[in-house]
């Protein structure tokens, strides 16, 4: 029953994102009045409500060489990152990451302000093709995120 409620909530979030155009950045859609900060706040809000395990979600952008990436920090309410919470975040990001990015970089931080290991929780998601930059930072190509298998 709980997963059904979560699936319904996720569906509402994804429809809201799709209809609201909140993931669109200037120049990507007819909604050119949306600033980067507003779009990132909307994505962060959608990820945060995807799981009760997230206390806060921060979104930014970065570049390394020719690669541009959306940076996602997941601040947890506890001291671990359950695979189901990460899977929920990936589903929201799959639908909302702007096309202008090559990758999404994810980091999770515990309530005790300790960077969490992402390798094991990522194995529990339907995402393939990620690269571990270090144990606590994963880089996921946008194409791999969009091709993500839906588990459960």
Span 11-45, pLDDT tens digits: 434 434 443 444 333 334 334 444 667 889 999 99
Identify whether the C-beta of residue 116 lies closer than 8 Å to the C-beta of residue 78.
Answer: no
Quote the distance between the C-alpha of residue 59 and its chain's center: 9
Buried b (16+ CB within 10 A) or exposed e, 3-35: eeebeeebeebbeebeeeebbbbeeeeeeeebe
> What pLDDT tens digit does each residue of the chain (152 aa) get?
444 344 434 443 443 444 344 433 333 433 444 466 788 999 999 999 999 999 999 999 999 999 999 999 999 999 999 989 999 999 999 999 999 999 999 999 999 999 999 998 888 887 888 999 999 999 999 999 998 866 54
pTM of the model: 0.75
Tokens of 17: 């994102």
Residue 66 sits at φ, ψ, to 5 deg, of -90, -5
The rounded mean pLDDT for the chain is 80
């Amino acid at each position: 029953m709980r997963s059904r409620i979560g699936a319904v909530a996720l569906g509402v979030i994804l429809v809201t994102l799709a209809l609201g155009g909140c993931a669109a950045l200037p120049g990507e859609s007819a909604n050119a009045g949306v600033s980067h900060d507003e779009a990132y706040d909307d994505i962060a809000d959608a990820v945060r409500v995807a799981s009760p395990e997230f206390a806060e979600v921060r979104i930014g952008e970065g570049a390394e060489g020719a690669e541009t990436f959306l940076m996602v920090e997941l601040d947890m309410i506890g001291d671990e990152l359950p695979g189901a919470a990460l899977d929920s975040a990936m589903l929201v990001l799959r639908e909302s990451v702007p096309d202008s990015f090559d990758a999404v970089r994810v980091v999770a931080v515990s309530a005790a302000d300790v960077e969490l290991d992402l390798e094991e929780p990522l194995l529990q998601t339907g995402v393939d093709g990620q690269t571990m930059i270090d144990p606590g930072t994963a880089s996921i190509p946008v194409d791999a995120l969009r091709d993500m298998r839906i588990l459960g």
